[in-house]
Amino acid sequence: MNNNRNYGLYAIAIAIALVGALALGVPLGTLAILAIVAVCPLMMFFMMRGMHGGDDMHGRDDAPKDRDPHDHKPFR
C-alpha cells in the first residue's frame, strides 16, 4: 500500500485558492457555504481512495481454506 500522500500540498493549494478568492472580492460567507458543500464529496474522495476495489480474495485471511479461490460454486 502506498502511503506517500502529500496532504501538505493539498493544504497549500487550498490556502492559495482561499487567499486568491478573498483578494478578488468573494465574500467570506460565500466561501464558508462553498466549504460546507464541498466537505462531503472531498471526504468521499479521500476515504474511497484507499479502498482499491476490495472484491478479490488475494491475501485475505477470512477466505475458506478448503476450496479453490477461483471456484465460484456455492460453499456447502
pLDDT digits (tens, 9 = 90+) for 46-75: 788 777 655 555 555 555 566 666 666 665
Tell me how far apart the alpha carbons of residues 57 and 69 are, in angstroms, rounded to a whole number.
7
Residue 63 · residue 69 · CB < 8 Å: yes
- Residue 37 pLDDT > 80: yes
- Give the highest mean pLDDT range of 5-14, 27-36, 40-49: 27-36
In whole angstroms, what is the distance from residue 51 CA to residue 20 CA?
Answer: 34
pLDDT at 57: 52
pTM: 0.49
Choose between 57 and 37: higher pLDDT.
37
